[in-house]
A and B are shown apart, each in its own frame.
Chain A
Amino acid sequence: MASNGCDRYVPDAARSVKILILGPFAVGKTTYVGTVSEIRPMHTEERMTQAGQLIDDLHGLEEKTTTTVAMDFGRLTLAEDIVLYLFGAPGQPRFRGMVQALTAGALGGLVLADTRRLQDSFDAIDLLEQAALPYTVAVNAFDGAPEYPEAELRESMSLDPRTPLVLLDARRRNSAMSGLITLVSAILARPHLEPAP
């Protein structure tokens, strides 16, 4: 992580790539984005309606029926012409509309999971599947959390055999990077790059 005035901007020729970091409260999303980001990770709040629609015009902002959703935002320059943006967002159903809006334009998603409450990550998985976005599940190694064989984890999350499952520690850079590397490798390994219709 580094930040001074000159680091503020991305290279002029850059193309951006967007990857989502999803999962339930306290699963490590903020930690993950902070570990990987080259800029001080940004925390933003987006407003949405109670119905879960992301508000995208000023009219909506005046309505009382809004709630805010905390998002994490990080950046990683991968080449002179490639900059990766990470968007961390909660996967709970009440944020569904907002996260659905985030899936547009995304390359894929990394779903964080905790073995003490795997079921809390199901919503994020369902959401990415419905959006037909490629994803990888990353089990965050929490101290004292039970360890299970991979086959058992896959079964409890009903993962497709082609969906990668990795174990990582969101606090450690190399470990955290392995999640993104696995995700992009899996996308490249697909016979068709574009998301299924």
Chain B
Amino acid sequence: MTAPRRRAAGMVRSYTATGGRVVPTRRSLDGATLLKADATVALAGLPAQARRVMELCRPGVLSVAEVAFHLRMPGAVTRVIVSSLVDSGHLTAVAPFVPAAQQHDRDFLKRVLRGLQRM
């Protein structure tokens, strides 16, 4: 992941106006990616849809797919808005867990299994 950039005023707007031609986070945004809002970054100047995303995400953590569903926005549109909010530092995105060879990952998966077995 690249370091979050501070958002230039109007960035989201120009983004949509040019038909979504910006590359960075969007391609790695998964439906199961979790979003955490930075409450210290001001919402002033954000376009309406981005502001709605922030208002939904400020009280707690949600996945990209849940944000799309709660705001009744298509997944593709949601990814565009969310990725620019990540790039501007309003949101932090945490991708879903995929195991690597580490022992730590094995332990995490064991806890996934125990969680399922407890249900």
List residues of A whose CB falls within 8 A of some B CB.
8-12, 14-18, 42, 44-47, 54-62, 73, 75-76, 78-79, 82-85, 87, 102, 104-107, 173, 177, 180-181, 184-185, 187-188, 192-195
Contact of A85 among B32, B74, B119 (CB under 8 A): B32
In the assembled complex, how far is the CB of residue B62 from the closest CB belonging to chain A, in whole angstroms?
Answer: 6
In the assembled complex, how far is the CB of residue B17 from the closest CB belonging to chain A, in whole angstroms?
Answer: 10
Which residues of B68-115 have CB atoms within 8 Å of chain A's CB atoms? 68-70, 74-77, 79-80, 94-101, 105-106, 108-115
Q: In the complex, which residue of chain B has the Cβ closest to the Cβ of A60?
A: B76
Q: Is the interface of A mostly helix, strand, loop or mixed?
A: mixed
Q: A181–B116 contact, CB under 8 A?
A: yes
By a CB distance below 8 angstroms, the chain B residues around A84 are: 112, 115-116
Does B16 have its Cβ within 8 Å of any Cβ on chain A? yes
Contact of B109 among A54, A180, A187 (CB under 8 A): A187
Q: A85–B101 contact, CB under 8 A?
A: no
How many Å lie between the Cα of A82 and that of B30 in the bound state? Answer: 16
How many Å lie between the Cα of A47 and that of B108 in the bound state? Answer: 34
By a CB distance below 8 angstroms, the chain B residues around A184 are: 109, 112-113, 116
By a CB distance below 8 angstroms, the chain B residues around A16 are: 32-34, 63, 94, 96-97
Q: A12–B63 contact, CB under 8 A?
A: no
